[in-house]
């Protein structure tokens, strides 16, 4: 117990001594108990000073959890010589009942279907050297009225009207950097801004790691708006291009029909000039060879 209290001393500027004692009792109970964690189970394992009413009072207390996570990480877990990435992911926890706050049906990757439960989106700092994730900011996800009222997608394929080849007459170029962010991306953008403000340049954050659900242009523009580079999985039908390099920029601006992009990048026919060093070329050949072997099996 004394060891846990000594580790929690860095949180005193944000919480009082009473809340810290209650947190200490809850931590001891959660480390000792097995099975599902509930308020009744915590009170059973907390011992003296951890009654059910005390546990309820603790969970009714407004606590700046993001600030506490950051203070604890900076005091005990931060390493100055390591590189950290900002990673975000959504977690769905199954939950029975009807009165739990935020209870709804969310898609779960574990069972591959929507389930009744709670959804949380977490922003974590990932250490590349230790390969550990340290959650900093966690927020519960609520479905908007538009998402609740939208009908579920059907498997019926609607026939499309055939049109002529080529570009439709009268169509204009669109600026792909001007996008309308959906509520999900707006929530993530707000969380990233809060975390960057909390870190306050203590850790230089450059990359944002997200899963394949955010491998699209809208998520890319959201990451650019918060001055981060996104690392995500592209769709299977995505095509990468090498930017067209014109030796004379005046000619490139004067001619409207200048070719902006060159050929599509294929893994089997990648340009040698794209590879930065010979070492990267060897690594690419090894990865390509392994990929071909996997496809054979």
Whole-model pTM: value is 0.76
Percentage with pLDDT > 90 across the chain: 29
Lowest mean pLDDT among 13-17, 192-196, 246-250: 246-250
* Predicted confidence band of residue 277 (pLDDT cuts 50, 70, 90): very low
The C-alpha torsion from 12 through 16 and 21 to 25, rounded to 10°, is: -90
pLDDT for the residue 295: 42
Coil, strand or helix: which one is 12? coil
Whether the pLDDT of residue 30 is over 50: the answer is yes
Q: Where on the phi/psi map is residue 262: left (φ > 0), alpha (ψ -120 to 50), or beta?
A: beta
Q: Is residue 147 very low, low, confident or very high in pLDDT (cuts 50, 70, 90)?
A: low
- pLDDT, residue 289, reads 43
pLDDT at 206 over 70: yes
pLDDT digit string (tens) for 49-86? Answer: 889 999 999 999 999 999 999 999 999 999 989 999 99
Helix, strand and coil in the chain, % to nearest 5: 40, 20, 40
Which tokens in the block code for residue 89? 């992911």
Closest CA to 190 of 143, 226, 224, 146: 226
Window from 33-37, 92-96, 240-244, 280-284 with minimum mean pLDDT: 280-284
Domains and CATH numbers, the chain: 1-63 (no CATH), 82-150+175-238 (3.90.350.10), 241-296 (no CATH)
| Region 106-133 average pLDDT | 90
How many Å apart are CA 11 and CA 4, to the nearest integer?
12
Residues in CB range of 136: below 8 A, 6 or more apart: 66, 69, 70, 73, 123, 124, 125, 195, 198
Confidence class of residue 294 from pLDDT cuts 50, 70 and 90?
A: very low
Share of the chain above pLDDT 70, in %: 74
Of 93, 132, 129, 124, give the one whose Cα is nearest residue 110.
Answer: 93
Quickly state the pLDDT bin for 240 (edges 50, 70, 90).
low
For residue 283, pLDDT over 50 is answered with: no
Rounded to 5 degrees, what angle do the CA atoms 252, 256, 262 make? 65
């Amino acid at each position: 117990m004394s060891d846990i209290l000594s580790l929690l001393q860095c949180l005193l500027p944000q919480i009082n001594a009473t809340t810290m004692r209650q947190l200490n009792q809850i931590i001891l109970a959660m480390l000792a108990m097995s099975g599902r964690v509930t308020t009744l189970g915590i009170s059973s394992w907390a011992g003296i000073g951890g009654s059910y009413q005390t546990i309820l009072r603790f969970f009714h207390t407004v606590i700046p959890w993001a600030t506490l996570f950051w203070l604890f990480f900076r005091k005990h877990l931060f390493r100055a010589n390591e590189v950290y990435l900002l990673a975000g992911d959504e977690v769905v926890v199954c939950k029975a009942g009807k009165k739990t706050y935020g209870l709804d049906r969310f898609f779960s990757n574990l069972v591959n279907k929507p389930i009744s439960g709670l959804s949380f989106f977490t922003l974590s700092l990932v250490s590349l050297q230790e390969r550990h994730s340290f959650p900093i900011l966690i927020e519960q996800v609520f479905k908007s009225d538009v998402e609740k009222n939208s009908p579920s997608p059907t498997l019926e394929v609607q026939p499309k009207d055939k049109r002529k080849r080529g570009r439709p007459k009268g169509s204009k170029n669109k600026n792909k950097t001007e996008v309308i962010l959906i509520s999900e991306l707006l929530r993530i953008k707000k969380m990233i801004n809060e975390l960057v403000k909390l870190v306050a340049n203590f850790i230089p954050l450059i990359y944002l790691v997200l899963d394949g659900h955010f491998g699209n242009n809208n998520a890319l523009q959201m990451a650019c708006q918060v001055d981060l580079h996104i690392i995500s999985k592209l769709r299977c039908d995505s095509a990468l291009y090498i930017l067209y390099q014109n030796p004379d920029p005046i000619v490139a601006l004067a001619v409207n029909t200048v070719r902006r992009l060159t050929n599509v990048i294929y893994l089997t026919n990648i340009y040698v000039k794209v590879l930065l060093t010979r070492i990267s070329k060897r690594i690419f050949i090894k990865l390509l060879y392994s990929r071909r072997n996997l496809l054979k099996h």
